[in-house]
Chains A and B, each alone.
Chain A
Amino acid sequence: MINKIVQSMADAMAGIKDGSTVLIGGFGAVGQPDQLIEGLIEQGAKNLTCVANNAGNGRVGLARLMELGRVRKIICSFPRSAGSVVFEELYRQGKIELEIVPQGTMAERMRAAGAGVPAFFTATSVGTILANGKEQREFNGRAYVMEHALKADVALVEAWEGDRWGNLTYRSSGRNFNPVMAMAADMTIAQVSHIRALGEIVPENVHTPGIFVKRVLHIDRGPEWA
């Protein structure tokens, strides 16, 4: 019997190696797998490359992981926000490497990785400093820049429902980066608010089919997110 549902955070995090590239879902706090990030802090893997839209807030979650010196490099579109104090300190001190990526390019690079597309061309960033050093080609009279797929060892995603085959649904704008990250990693670990019996999620409503998911952990996020 296939059963991707794990019973403990330790089981969810087992085997994540030093030096891994880790995708972290969410747009700000929404759809961000906070408990899995705490689990990764506890698990101890270091020298990580983290991919997330934002560079953490306050001194918890991703910010805490960075503050502990566990993140070598961050790939994101919008690192600077009101509460991104830890990132800004580390960046100023030269203690973290930053790769800034336009948000749509970031999503597409992961979608491409999941779909077996090694690289693609986009008009985004042409004529800007973010296109420096990248191959450009013209199609139908317009310039495009080549971007490479962004594949990862691990994805940490937050979903609304999950079942033992790893099928997932997301709640409203909590979907954001989670489905493309789930596609792009060898080991996708989902924290879900609700465990459903097999067949209970209407097949037409599955957002991420279980083929993209390795482990599912039930996390009760409390009444605010219910």
Chain B
Amino acid sequence: MQGFDRKQMAARVAEDIPEGWFVNLGIGIPTMIANYVPLEREVILHSENGILGMGPAPAPDKVDPWLVNAGKQAVTLRPGGSYFHHADSFAMIRGGHIDLCVLGAFEVAANGDIANWATSENDSAPAVGGAMDLGAGAKRLWVVMEHTTKDGGHKIVERCTYPLTTPGAVSRVYTNLGVLDVVQGKGFVVRDLAPGVSFEQIQAASGAKLHTN
């Protein structure tokens, strides 16, 4: 079984983002998606710490310590970009102005539930950040993640076992094995398979029933 590597997963998500969308990218593989949206396709990246029109990482000698993304990494601002405070930034998120948010996850369930912030109700120190705001507020929530845990445990599940970030929010999942739509009332529908991956293989790696259409 071949499948996508992390860069190919990010590139696969980028293919599906049309010009003109306002997009918030989470930490990890989601952040890498920005590298695969061609500059001539104008997608406006939002960063929760108060940036619209966020650009790529600067050259090492051009780092501005005042300008970081949600992961606290140095970034740049594209022409046309803007800065604003946190309440305005989250008004954009919570007010339904962001077209798409892409997050990583521990689990995604067949009913669209996402769990991505805590691994138990008694977590040693839970850290939610902006995930619940993005889950509840963005027009669309997509997830990009490895299809299973490192030891083969299921992340595509019938019902989440970890504390929820947002119920019923996820509409699409990109993994190393393929692309799944989450259809209300039905569950996971396989939209695309990664190179060299069969339906039987992606089903075997999933803890929920997958549909073909």
Binding site for B on A (CB under 8 A): 27-31, 55, 77-81, 84, 87-88, 91-92, 98, 100-105, 107-108, 110-111, 122-130, 170-180, 207, 224-225
Flag if A180 contacts B87 (CB, 8 Å).
yes
Nearest Cβ distance between residue A225 and chain B, in whole angstroms? 6
Q: Name the A residues within 8 Å of B168 (CB-CB).
A: 127
Complex alpha-carbon distance, A110 and B86, angstroms? 10
Q: Name the A residues within 8 Å of B197 (CB-CB).
A: none
Q: Name the B residues within 8 Å of A102 (CB-CB).
A: 128-133
- Complex A-B: 29 CB contacts under 8 Å: A28-B72, A29-B72, A30-B67, A55-B125, A77-B128, A77-B130, A78-B129, A84-B125, A91-B125, A101-B128, A103-B128, A103-B130, A103-B133, A104-B90, A104-B137, A107-B87, A122-B136, A124-B137, A128-B163, A129-B163, A130-B128, A173-B50, A173-B83, A175-B50, A175-B85, A176-B49, A179-B87, A180-B85, A207-B85
Residue in B67, B85, B136 whose beta carbon sits within 8 Å of that of A124 in the complex? B136
Q: Which residue of B lies closest to A77 (CB)?
A: B129
Flag if A173 contacts B124 (CB, 8 Å).
no
Which A-B residue pairs are the 5 nearest by beta carbons? Answer: A104-B90, A104-B133, A127-B167, A107-B86, A111-B87
Q: Which residue of B lies closest to A111 (CB)?
A: B87
Flag if B68 contacts A104 (CB, 8 Å).
no
Q: Name the B residues within 8 Å of A127 (CB-CB).
A: 164, 166-168
- Given A27-B49, A128-B163, the answer on whether A178 and B68 have CB atoms closer than 8 Å is no
Q: Which residue of A lies closest to B96 (CB)?
A: A123
Q: Name the B residues within 8 Å of A92 (CB-CB).
A: 124
Give the bracket for the number of chain B residues in contact with chain A. Answer: 35 or more
Interface hub of A78, A84, A126 (most chain B Cβ within 10 A): A78
Q: Name the A residues within 8 Å of B66 (CB-CB).
A: 30-31, 171-174, 225
Q: Which residue of B lies closest to A179 (CB)?
A: B85
Nearest Cβ distance between residue A169 and chain B, in whole angstroms? 11
Flag if B129 contacts A27 (CB, 8 Å).
no
Nearest Cβ distance between residue A134 and chain B, in whole angstroms? 13
Residue in A31, A124, A179 whose beta carbon sits within 8 Å of that of B133 in the complex? A124
Nearest Cβ distance between residue A99 and chain B, in whole angstroms? 11
Q: Is B16 an interface residue (CB 8 A)?
A: no
Flag if A104 contacts B166 (CB, 8 Å).
no
Residue in A87, A103, A179 whose beta carbon sits within 8 Å of that of B125 in the complex? A87
Flag if B129 contacts A128 (CB, 8 Å).
no
Q: Name the A residues within 8 Å of B64 (CB-CB).
A: 172
List 9 extra interface pairs beyond A124-B137, A126-B136, CB under 8 A.
A30-B66, A31-B66, A103-B128, A110-B87, A127-B164, A128-B163, A177-B85, A178-B85, A180-B86
- Given A173-B49, A178-B85, the answer on whether A104 and B121 have CB atoms closer than 8 Å is no
Complex alpha-carbon distance, A48 and B137, angstroms? 33
Q: Is B77 an interface residue (CB 8 A)?
A: yes
Q: Which residue of A lies closest to B81 (CB)?
A: A172
Nearest Cβ distance between residue B7 and chain A, in whole angstroms? 23
Flag if B83 contacts A172 (CB, 8 Å).
yes
Flag if B86 contacts A177 (CB, 8 Å).
yes
Nearest Cβ distance between residue B4 and chain A, in whole angstroms? 28
Q: Name the A residues within 8 Å of B211 (CB-CB).
A: none
